[in-house]
Structure 1
């Protein structure tokens, strides 16, 4: 009987392990939410001319809504990260998408400029501010023990992907049907994604009965953190007493100033100064967005394997060289040198995000997503200042050459700052 019950190790049946981890589905749903929120960042530029022509509103009044939106987009992120720890990621994301939906629907029936500020600036600004790279950091820190850099890079590129996917369609729709139908359509897209998030997104692997991806043991779901706003400010004050915070925030101020701050608002007029047609300039800007998305994913892969500080130094140094060369590659037509600039600059555009997220996590532990939220606010501050000062410098000097040279110099400063960020030895 003993011989009948004995089994060979080679023939013992084994339960097959799961081929697809739930964490990847969570990442896809999260990316979809970020893509949707990113689409709304492209709309204000498309509304300026129709609203000016239809309602005779001043362009400054219309631009005010975009400015309020940008400020709240940056300031909301750190509070959203703390709120996710308090009430859960899914509730915050669903609430943010519903806020965006409401703001877009109200915008479609507005009649006064202040309503644009309230609906698009405040409501959509608050909603989209919850679905930033801070949201990406919260998802990856909860669901992934390995491949965090890769997932962070992919989610960080999702916002740019939303702009690239929706901008051509929205521009065509506004031109063909007017501004209101596209806004309403985009509102219902956000509503549909909110339903998808409610059905599929979970706050923590423990909610689904699985381990974080790459983890060897189950991780218990942490207790809800009380006092989200107080915690956000407490984390800020605590981090502000440390050197790494100021180095990371300073780098991100420079990052925002030398990327979306200057490019999205001043690229087209700078190209026009060199005789380039608007359509060609817009195409080059779209290509930058495409390669920035690719660069973010590749940077995440590199962050899993190399020191994030050295990666940041390399990225800022490359960006400095490209900006310094930009006045020499600008021309009235798209040349090979311009394409090379677009590819190289685009690859390091958003590539700084995964290393900075990794550093905030290593230095500040569970407070890392909130700290990153504050550094992302610094990014938005740098972007806003650069957009204004870049245009002002053009008016004063009659050229953008001084702008590109100055930004190149400060990028070199950021490259040096990255080298001196101190990380705990246990990290």
Structure 2
């Protein structure tokens, strides 16, 4: 492996980034599938939108909750083992989905098992890879890996929506399982845990060093890290803004845009195409955000991101009633800002709490994100059943984004590092 790396002239960390990108892409694509399945399940099984939304809500919550513990597992057992185990569990869960006949089975397979499995391959994985393999260009790497979620939608949603409409939702599940098997083989062959495994130094340095062994308790260490982080106002502000971030993205738009389009007679495949278009522009926006986070005040970046997202969500009810052209405008504008908030948030967390703790701390911040997403996913479904429209949830999300923008500016710019939580394993 060392000879191959040296002769190719390519830093192996970029290979790891590519494999991680594919893994996160697949995980995000599968997590977005329930928005396509909502209408078919409503028709075939007679389940209410609120009931289906409750399953999605639980999956989103567990997807976030597992993050801090995922960071500990990645440190303890290595990236390769954890990803292989997660992909295997996810494949089993999806393989059983076509056999289900009751809502509680959907709850177990997608709400619990799929939520936990994809949570092991969430943003914490990208943060761990960037921190272990890179010193230089770390923000860019975080941006690229975060953008993989958008690319997952870009590739999966139109394809899966078309398969669902043409030959049935079960075949879209089979296609997802096949994709998991392909990525699983790639991870098994080429994934590496640390630069030391290939005799390299982290990108931007010259010294080859062994990885620091994780010596703490896999369950207690993340909780101790959380307890220490809770003493910092920066943690609460980052967690608060990320709560509103989740509320206004995957919880609301990612879950309910396709059903909302259906309320206005817009075909499911076209609505999935709009989400995919958002994914395309978010790929650009989030990668650019990573580049910007290496160069500008991350608090101000978050202010603009949340403020512009709030404006786009206030515009959405009008866009839905005005037709495809206005929805196209919304998709481009909103897409550029979909998850551009992640790189600045990661940078602020790393600066406040240190590289060693960044994975776990960011994992807890993501928990807040997914709680917000879970509230929106379930709440919007219930409100839609009650009022017959999604206007109120969309407008509410716009207002909370404005609040998040103000909170971002309250994060201290020159906070001392003296209050950092203890290093993992202590």
TM-score range, shorter chain: 0.7 to 0.9
Is residue 340 of structure 2 the alignment partner of residue 356 of structure 1? no
**1:378 matched residue in structure 2:** 368
Distance of aligned partners of 1:208 and 1:246 in 2 relative to their CA distance in 1, 3 Å threshold: same
Given candidates 344, 361, 366, the residue that maps to 2:333 is 344
Q: SS in structure 2 opposite 1:222?
A: coil
Distance of aligned partners of 1:391 and 1:166 in 2 relative to their CA distance in 1, 3 Å threshold: closer
Given candidates 71, 76, 90, the residue that maps to 1:86 is 76
How far apart, in 1, do the equivalents of 2:321 and 2:330 lie? 12
Could you report, residue by residue, the CA deviation over 1:93-144 in whole angstroms, capped at 9, with x for unpaired residues? 1111111111112224445543333233322221101011111001100001
**1:38 matched residue in structure 2:** 28
Distance of aligned partners of 1:39 and 1:284 in 2 relative to their CA distance in 1, 3 Å threshold: closer
CA RMSD of aligned residues (A): 2.8
1:144–1:212 contact (8 Å) kept in structure 2: yes
TM-score, normalised via structure 1 length: 0.86
**2:275 matched residue in structure 1:** 285
How far apart, in 2, do the equivalents of 1:62 and 1:407 lie? 21
Q: Report matched runs for 1:11-90 at 5 Å.
A: 19-48=9-38, 50=40, 62-90=52-80
Q: Report matched runs for 1:162-181 at 5 Å.
A: 162-181=152-171
Q: SS in structure 2 opposite 1:260?
A: coil
How far apart, in 2, do the equivalents of 1:285 and 1:181 lie? 21
Q: SS in structure 2 opposite 1:41?
A: helix
Distance of aligned partners of 1:212 and 1:185 in 2 relative to their CA distance in 1, 3 Å threshold: same
Q: SS in structure 1 opposite 2:154?
A: helix
**2:200 matched residue in structure 1:** 210
2:352–2:417 contact (8 Å) kept in structure 1: no
**2:237 matched residue in structure 1:** 247
How far apart, in 2, do the equivalents of 1:349 and 1:254 lie? 12
**2:143 matched residue in structure 1:** 153
1:276–1:331 contact (8 Å) kept in structure 2: no
How far apart, in 2, do the equivalents of 1:325 and 1:424 lie? 37
Q: CA deviation at 1:147?
A: 0.9
How far apart, in 1, do the equivalents of 2:94 and 2:389 lie? 38
**1:133 matched residue in structure 2:** 123
Q: CA deviation at 1:279?
A: 5.3
Could you report, residue by residue, the CA deviation over 1:189-234 in whole angstroms, capped at 9, with x for unpaired residues? 2123122112211111111110111123223311123311111111
Q: CA deviation at 1:166?
A: 1.8
Distance of aligned partners of 1:47 and 1:19 in 2 relative to their CA distance in 1, 3 Å threshold: same
Distance of aligned partners of 1:99 and 1:384 in 2 relative to their CA distance in 1, 3 Å threshold: same
TM-score, normalised via structure 2 length: 0.87
Structure with the greater relative contact order (CA < 8 A, sep ≥ 6): 1 or 2? 2
Q: Report matched runs for 1:304-323 at 5 Å.
A: 304-323=294-313
**1:298 matched residue in structure 2:** 288
Could you report, residue by residue, the CA deviation over 1:136-164 in whole angstroms, capped at 9, with x for unpaired residues? 00110000111111111111111221222
Equivalent residue pairs, number: 411
Q: CA deviation at 1:376?
A: 0.9
Distance of aligned partners of 1:262 and 1:220 in 2 relative to their CA distance in 1, 3 Å threshold: same
Q: CA deviation at 1:267?
A: 3.0
Structure 2 unaligned runs (5+)? Answer: 1-5, 419-426
How far apart, in 2, do the equivalents of 1:306 and 1:341 lie? 27
Shifted more, 111-120 versus 351-360: the winner is 111-120
